[in-house]
Amino acid sequence: MIPLQVFAGALGIAMAALIVWMIRRDRLPVSHSLWWLTVSVLIALFGLAPGLLDALASTVGVAYAPSLLFVLAILTLLIKVLLEDLELTTNRRRLLRLAQKTAILEEQVRQLRERMEKQS
C-alpha cells in the first residue's frame, strides 16, 4: 500500500510542478491554473493520506471509499466541462460582436473613402 501512496503523492506533486511550469511559460492562464492546482493538491493529499478519503466516505455515508473517489472525480470533470462550455459560449459571443463591429467599421471606412473621392 505504501508504494501506491507514494506514487499518488508524487503524481500530485509532479502535476502541481507541471502546472506552475506552464504558468511561468505562459501556456496556461492563471484562471485555469487555480482549478488544476486544486486538483493536483487533492490528488497529492488523498494519495499521501488515504485515511482522509476513508473519513470523508464515512462522513458522507459511502461504504466503499474508492467509489467516493470516482464520484468526486466524475463530478469534478463535469464541473470543469460546464465551466469550459460557459467560457466557450462567452468567447463565441465576443467573437461574433467583434466581427459585427469590424464589418460596421469597414463599411464606414468605405463610405468615407467614397466621400473623399467625390470631393476631390
Length of the chain: 120
| Domain presence at residue 113 | yes
Question: Per-residue DSSP letters for 76-103?
Answer: HHHHHHHHHHHHHHHHHHHHHHHHHHHH
In a domain, 97, yes or no: yes
Q: Give the pLDDT confidence score for residue 2 in this predicted structure.
A: 65
Does one domain contain both 68 and 28? no
| Contact predicate 51/15, CB 8 Å | no
Residue among 96, 86, 70, 74 at smallest CA distance from 32: 86
Residue 108 domain-assigned (yes or no): yes
> What value does the mean pLDDT take over residues 86-96?
97
Mean pLDDT of 83-109: 97
Residue 53 lies in a domain: no
Q: Are residues 117 and 69 in the same domain?
A: yes
Q: Give pLDDT tens digits for 15-49.
A: 999 999 999 999 988 888 888 899 899 888 988 88
Q: What is the chain's Cα-based Rg?
A: 25
pLDDT mean across residues, the chain: 92
Range of the domain at 31: 1-48
Give the pLDDT of residue 106: 98
Look up residue 116 and give its three cell numbers.
473623399
